[in-house]
Structure formats: C-alpha cells, structure tokens
A and B are shown apart, each in its own frame.
Chain A
Amino acid sequence: MSDGVLHKAMAPLVAPPVFDFWVQKINRTLSWERPLARVVGREVTARGTVTLTLKANRHFRGYAAGQHVPVSVEVDGVRLTRTYSPVTPWQGDRRLAITVREVDGGKVSAALVHALSVGDVVELGPAFGDMVLPDGGASRPWLLVAGGSGITPLMCLARALLAENPSADITLMMWARERADLCFSGTFADLRARHPNLRVLPVLTRESRCLPNELSGRPGAELFAAQVPDIATRAVRACGPWGFVETVSSLLAPIAADFDSECFTPPPRATQAGEAVTVTLLRSERQVQVPAGAPLLESLEEQGVQPAYGCRMGVCNTCVCDKRAGTTEHVYNSEQHAEAGPVRLCVNAARSDITLDL
C-alpha cells in the first residue's frame, strides 16, 4: 500500500473502491490511495474546543509547521471538508494534532467536536499554505500574534522554533474574548517552564477582571509599544479573522523586521443576479468573469471555455464538474449550495466567486 513499484505495477489491476472495501475489514485506515487518519486522542482544550490527535496512513505526505490540512468527515451522508492547522510539527510518528472550536451552525466543527471519538476515521488532504519558517529562523527574535483560533498555526510555529532552538526568543500574544476561550493554557505553562525565552501574553477583550499575567483590549499601537518595545528587531507572524489581521498588519508591518500573516478566508460574498463573479478554472489555469445567476455552462461557453456537455437540462450528468469553493444556485429551484462537491454546470449558476476543477 505504499506508493512504490508494487503499487504502480498493480494499479491497472486494482479497482480502488473494491481494494479499500476489503482491506478496511482489517484496518479502517488502510486504502489504495486515500490519505486516511484515525483519531487516537481527544482532549477538551478550551470551552467548546477539542484537540484531536490523528494518526495518518502512508498516503498522507505531512506538512510544514504553519501549513493547513484539509480534513473531511461525513455528516448526514455528505462528505464535507474544512481546513485546520496542525498544532504540533510533523514528525516521524505520522501523528498530527488539530484543535477545533465549535462554530455556530458549523456542521464539520460540530461533528469533530461532538460526534467524533477515539477510533473513528477521517480523511485528510494535501497540506498547503505559505506561512512557513525560513531556514535558520530559530536564531532570531519572534513575535507571534494570534486572534482566536488563529493560534493554531502559530502554536505549531512556536513549537517548531523551540524544537530547533530551545532558547529561542519568542513573544506570543494571543487574543480571545474571555479566559475560558483561551486554548493551550496548560501547554504554555509546560513550555514556559522549559523555555525561559518564551513569553506568552493572553489578551482578553470581554473578561471583566484580568489576572496579573493577562492584558485586555483590542490590538493597538500603544499595547504593542508597551509589550514589544524591540519590535523593530522581530519577525512577526499574525493569524486570525480577516479584520483582526488587517489591523495587526497596518500596525506592525511598517515597523517590524519582517512581517507575514494569514487570515481565515471570509465567506464568499453573496451577489445579486447579473453581477459579475470570477470563475477560477484550475485545470485550464484560467479565470473568467461570468454573470451571477446565469447557468454556468452557457456563461463559460460565452467566455470561450468548452466544458463537456450533453442534455443541457440537468438530466445526463455529462457536464458534472468538481466545485472546489464558492456558492452555486440551482436554476430550477433556486436552492443555494456552499459546500465543495460535484455540480452540473448546465443547471447551476454561480452566486459568488467560485473555483472549478475544469
């Protein structure tokens, strides 16, 4: 089941679904080609937040600290995918830990936080993301700025830096609403005991009374000046909601030695019918503008794209195409669909910018 010579030689003879059916009678994480992982640990790490430890099979290729990994689970029969940042660096034991906070109305986060237990299997995807450490980064001073669950990739960066240089100079400022929302309190206590140059500053925005080691307030110039006077010498990485990262970036990017950030993708903006939206075509490496609300097949053809098609009325499934992101709407019943998955181009219209595997 490795991707070696045997795997390649056998490929024409093997039907992967049949192969997986039988080998998964032995072990549910065995697969011909899919990166599956078993939940081997589950720990509640904050209010409504769990850290899951996963053991991946050999089809998962690992990740660099700071990268993100798509995690798929089946919810009510539908395979749904969300991206999480592992909080520990990838090592030889094929384990990764993800910290998941339940989002209001979030189907996947609810499944991961409540329904999943040790022994269950999830599917992973290839890791991605550019906020990774430069070579030799552990010898310079760092400031890591986290908003809410933006802490997760920064946690991984901090651990990777400390693994490389146990006395690395790291200041980590983590924003949360209340104390109960803070993740990793115990972990940080452990780390600080072993790493004297690690400074962890929780900043709370809605807690009525702060403890001596806690700060309060939103990100601001004075707060940073008071807490990190040597900002000009530090490399900064920030992660959090879009607005948070915008603020931090405007304050620190001009004055820090080095600045990089990532934010959670805002949900695609819903558009009015007729408004132009961008369709990103992954295979043909193109972007085209089409009117929202108009059947995609026709709109794409007008832009010179020629998808396969048949009936043009939603019957034959010939024009089905994988949507990777964005909201589409069925033209007959106006139902909107924001999850990734197959869509029939002839009877679906874009309702936001979308990405297609075409």
Chain B
Amino acid sequence: MKQSKSRPLTREQVDQFGAELDALHTRVRDDLGQHDADYIRRVFAAVRYTEAAGRVLLYCWFLPPLWVLGVLLLGLSKILDNMELGHNVIHGQFDWMNDPYLRGRDWEWDIVATGDNWRETHNFRHHTYTNIKGMDDDIGYGLLRLFPEQRWRPFYLFQPLVAVIFALLFEWGVAIQDLRLGRYFKGKMAPGEMAAAFRPVGRKMRRQMIKDYLVFPLLGGPLFLPILAGNALANIMRSLWTYMIIFCGHFTADVDVFPKSVMNGESRGQWYLRQIRGSSNLRGGKLFHILTGNLSHQIEHHLFPTLPANRYGDIAPEVRAICRRYGVHYNTGSLWLQFGQVIWRILRYSFPSKPVPVNRVRLLAE
C-alpha cells in the first residue's frame, strides 16, 4: 500500500504552515471590495438571463436546434445557480457585503435540496470534518465505497451501476442526505422524527416539481411534454456536472481519509493540512473554473471556505508555493485525469480490499 505523498511535519512546522495560511487569508479578506461585489452580482445576472433565455427557447419545439439550445441554457443556468452562485453564497462568502439578498444563512437555490440541509451537511459536517471517516458523510454519501478504509459489503458489487444512477439523480441524493435514511432503516430513528425532518425537504421537492414539471410545461399548452422533457434534461445535466466536479474534489487517487482520532487536539495548522490532503484541484480555463463554482480550486476552497470563490484562482499559486516549501502534496490535474481516478476508485473498491497502514494518515512526524 502506498504512502501519502505529503511528508510528515514537526509540530512547529505545522504551526508555521498554519500561520502562513492565516496571513494569506487576512490579506485577501482585507482586500475585498467593489470588484468582488460586482462579480457576484454579474453571476446572479448571468443565472437570470440564461434561465429566461433557456425557458423561452424551450417553447421553440418546432425548431429543434433552438429547443436543444434552450435545454443547454437552462442547464447552464442551473449549474451556475448551484455552483458559482448558490454554493458560494450559502458559505457566507459574501456576507461581508451586508446585502440582505446575498446572505449565506438565508439563501435558497433552484435545486430540490433545501438550503438549510445543505448548511448542515455541507457547510458544517463536510467542511469541518473533511475526509474523516464516520464524520464526513460526503465519503461515499452512505452509498458508495471509495476508500479501502470503508468496510466492504456485498452490496458494493453493484456500485458501478449505483454510481451511475446516483449521478443522474444527484440533486435528489443531496436533498435526502441530511435525513440519514440509513439510520432510519436500521431503526435508530423514530418514524415521527423522520416525518418531521422530511417536512421541509418534501416542501422544497414539491415546489421544484411544480415549477419545472407543471407550471412551465402548462404555460406551453400543447407543448407540455417537450417543455417537461427540457426541464428534466436540464436538471439531469446539472446533476451530472455537479456530481463529476464534486467527486473530483475529494475522491481522486492521492487524497487521504482520516480516522476520528485526528481530531484529538487538532491545531489550526493540522486542520489546514487535513483540508489539503483531503482535497484535489482541477486544471482548466477561466470559464471552466466558473462553471465548477471555482470548486476546481477545491484546496483553496477547503482552506478558506468563507472567502469569495472568485479569489481562489488568484491565491492558488501562493497556496501551492507554501505547500511546496513544507513538502505538502498539492493534488491537481485535468478534469479527465482526476475523474478517471474517481471512476477507478468506484470500480476498484466495489471489490474487497485491505485498509491501509496507519502511517499513511499520520499528520505529525514523531
């Protein structure tokens, strides 16, 4: 079994490493201003215009290329709304603007998952306990085995198929993630408790269904079915894209998972280190980064989840230089390389495998 690509550091080195990243954070925070405010408002406008254009073009069923363009634009709108707008605003990245319409705590997005569930599973659990087995539900989403540290069960033999279905319905998977259905089916949760937890989720699902699959298709009169299909395709397009980007963020070949014991007395520097070792970046152009919600800069995002994402690209070279100085592996690659590794994990770990030796997850030099 291979070793982590990061070299163990002494406690002092880890502290210095953390201090350098803290300083970088403060510097960017102090520099935020009109430029960043204008940026997020441009993204908001782009979501609105692409949605409007996409929805209008869906009514052009009789000119198929326009209908296809409509699907693509609506899908693009949902991707932008999900990633560069919703995900980032919900993190509170633009709270400093003090604009009541761009506040992380109140934000709601065009997806079946509720903003509140996302704040709990993603902002809190995933970002605090990143890649800690048993704490970060994003490790396989309770559905997939992506690391040898996860115990194998025969169910995982169907994993390649499950993974594809999960990708197509990813927004629904995210919607029910916080319900922890696994606990419910194991009898660890009372039906009443589950019903109460489901109520807001059900309300959001209903709202999205009525909007995309009833109201807009009905507005098309005889075009009900083509418009319904267009909405469904746009939603699937968004699910596939977000699934691919999010999986590339934490499930590539060289990322590490950690046991719960890493949390004992974890310093700030160690926390930063865990974020970097549990995340992987994607290379690409400016438009690509925007479409990923700048999650292509997953490492920078995990270090500074509350800094505006439009800054990640600027600070990436500095983060990388800091990592190089401390011998911390900076995991990056093209989308195809990284996603190839994700697919390999999905296939490889559907079969039994041995867990790794402890030193792979060691953060400190002895």
- Which A positions have Cβ atoms within 8 angstroms of B? 15-18, 20-22, 34, 74, 76-80, 310-311, 313-318, 320, 332-333, 335, 339-342, 344
Contact B97 A315 (CB under 8 A): no
**How many whole Å from A317's CB to the nearest CB in chain B?**
4
Question: Are B101 and A17 in contact, with the CB atoms below 8 A?
Answer: yes
Q: B108 touching A76 by the CB < 8 A rule?
A: no
CB-defined interface of B180-203 with A at 8 Å, one 1/0 digit per residue?
A: 000000000000000000000000
- Is there contact, CB below 8 Å, between A316 and B127? yes
A317:B45 contact, CB within 8 angstroms: no
CA distance A140 to B36 in the complex (A): 56
* Contact indicator B124/A310 (Cβ below 8 Å): yes
A335 B108 Cβ-Cβ under 8 A: no
A34 to chain B: which residues have CB within 8 Å? 100
**CB-based contact A310/B128 at 8 Å:** yes
Range of interface residues on B (Cβ < 8 Å): 35 or more
- List B contacts of A340 (CB < 8 A): 98
Q: Is B250 an interface residue (CB 8 A)?
A: no
In the bound complex, do residue A341 and residue B95 qualify as a contact, i.e. CB atoms below 8 Å apart? yes
- Does B33 count as interface, using CB distance less than 8 angstroms? yes
- Residue from A316, A332, A339 whose CB has the most chain B CB atoms within 10 Å: A316
Residue of B nearest to A340 (CB): B98
CB distance from B210 to the nearest CB of A (A): 10
- Are A77 and B306 neighbours in the complex by a CB distance under 8 Å? no
Residues of B within 8 A of A18 (CB): 48
CB atoms of B26 and A333 under 8 A apart: yes
Tell which of A21, A314, A339 touches B306, judged by Cβ atoms closer than 8 Å.
A314
Chain B positions 263 through 280: 1 when the CB is less than 8 Å from some CB of chain A, otherwise 0: 000001001000000000
Contact between chains at B119 and A318 (CB < 8 Å):
yes
Whether A315 contacts B127 in the complex (CB less than 8 A), given A77-B32, A333-B22, A342-B92, comes out as: yes
Shortest Cβ gap from B99 to chain A (Å): 5
Over the window 90-128 of chain B, the binary record of Cβ atoms lying under 8 Å from chain A Cβ atoms (1 yes, 0 no) is: 011001111111011100100000000001100110011
Asked whether A311 and B98 contact (CB < 8 A) given A76-B34, A316-B123, A317-B119, the answer is no
In the complex, whether B213 has a CB less than 8 A from a CB of chain A is: no
- Among residues of A, the one whose C-beta sits closest to the C-beta of B40 is A77
Whether A318 contacts B123 in the complex (CB less than 8 A), given A332-B22, A333-B26, A342-B103, comes out as: yes
- Nearest to A18 among chain B residues (CB) is B48
Q: Measured between alpha carbons, how far is A340 from B33 in the docked complex, in Å?
A: 16
Give the docked Cα–Cα distance between A332 and B36 (Å): 23
* Bound CA span A340–B95, Å: 11
Q: Is B37 an interface residue (CB 8 A)?
A: yes
Q: How far is the CA of A129 from the CA of B240 in the complex (A)?
A: 55
